[in-house]
Amino acid sequence: MSSIFTKKNTVIALIVLAFVIPFVLQNQYYLHVLTLACIWSIAVYGLNLLAGFTGYLSLAHAGFFAIGAYSLGLLTVKAELSFWLAFLVAPIITMIIGTFVGIIALRTKEHFFAIYTLCVGYIIYLIIDKWDSLTGGVRGLIGIPSPANIGPISFDTPLSQYYFVLVVTLLCILMVYRIVHSLTGRTFIAIRNSEELALSLGISTAKNKLLSFVLSTFFAGVAGALYGSFIRFIGPEISYTTIMFDFLTYLIVGGIGTLSGPIVGTFLIVLLSQNLQFLQDYRMLIFGPLLTLLIIFSPRGIVGFVLTKYHQHQRKTSAVLKDARAKEG
């Protein structure tokens, strides 16, 4: 039985489920929520690369998300660039700004890094909010186009948009998977473990930390650009700290430093908060204590908890097998 539930089969089953779920649900509102959850999870994957795998908790992530969204918005609405070109350029702009911020921010460490990036995030918010002539200020940016047609494929229905976002999400997850399992990914983990040890192995920690930072802004930029084209209206509040702490909550609940944590956490909380909407802001009375308990009893989130239990189980069975073999022999 257990052979059916291999990692590969589970992943394939989940992907198939993601593709057929719109036909099962038949509910436009849920489709909208699922699409949004996909977009958020891309941003959370970016945050995970830096905070989870490299050990640098950046609190400017919502800022970079907004830079991605506003880049797409400004390029399409004000510069009248074609959608696909803007969609390509938006993450690049985010990465360029990310590089400059990273060079300065990474001179600090630990809580100083978190505080510094929190300030950067707030500055990004202020710039978007106050630079009226460029960003439209509090009025926001209206009329961002949906993805343009590719040949016969159009993206003007919620269903087609869901599929478009889903494909991009899967590509992003694949990218993160490849990064984490490459030498680059292990270099990030080495830095998280001990920067001094990484240095003494000849790893240029400065270069690799910057790489991780810029990659994380790339995913924030992609998520932002998708958000802009999906919602088609953006305001300065998308760069606000509440969004930042939403990202962080998704990551911590799902499992910081795990591969499936971002998607598990994001979907779980987004769907849960949709179902608890009748409670309005009192939802936080439930989330707050739950989050506290989770951090105390499973600092690596739900995925971390499951993985630990799974490894314990494996070790036990292999020990039992060894004993049995020893008795036979």
Residues forming the site for other proteins (CB under 8 A)? 183, 186-187, 189-190, 193-194, 196-197, 199-205
CB of 199 to other proteins, least distance (A): 4
Nearer Cβ to other proteins, position 117 or 187?
A: 187
CB of 21 to other proteins, least distance (A): 34
CB of 214 to other proteins, least distance (A): 19
For the chain, the C-alpha Rg in angstroms (whole number) is 21
* Strand intervals (E) in the chain: 141-142, 233-234
The conformation of residue 260, written as its DSSP 8-state character, comes to S
CB of 325 to other proteins, least distance (A): 17
CB of 306 to other proteins, least distance (A): 16
The enclosing H or E element of 27 equals none
Nearer Cβ to other proteins, position 202 or 329?
A: 202
Closest to 160 measured CA to CA, from 170, 172, 144, 148: 148
Nearer Cβ to other proteins, position 10 or 194?
A: 194
Please name the residue that has the structure tokens 């990004």.
Answer: 124
Nearer Cβ to other proteins, position 154 or 312?
A: 312
Nearer Cβ to other proteins, position 1 or 183?
A: 183
Number of residues that this document lists for the chain: 329
Please tell me the distance from the alpha carbon of residue 220 to that of residue 237, in angstroms, as a whole number: 16
CB of 181 to other proteins, least distance (A): 10
CB of 189 to other proteins, least distance (A): 7
Nearer Cβ to other proteins, position 144 or 256?
A: 256
Q: Helix %, strand %, coil % for the chain, to 5?
A: 80, 0, 15
58 phi and psi, to 5 degrees?
A: -95, 130
150 phi and psi, to 5 degrees?
A: -110, 105
Between the alpha carbon of residue 162 and those of residues 97, 101, 275, 293, 294, the distances in Å are 29, 32, 20, 34, 31
Nearer Cβ to other proteins, position 191 or 243?
A: 191
CB of 126 to other proteins, least distance (A): 36
Nearer Cβ to other proteins, position 197 or 324?
A: 197
The conformation of residue 146, written as its DSSP 8-state character, comes to P
Q: Chain-centre distance of CA 272, in angstroms?
A: 18
Please name the residue that has the structure tokens 């229905």.
Answer: 157
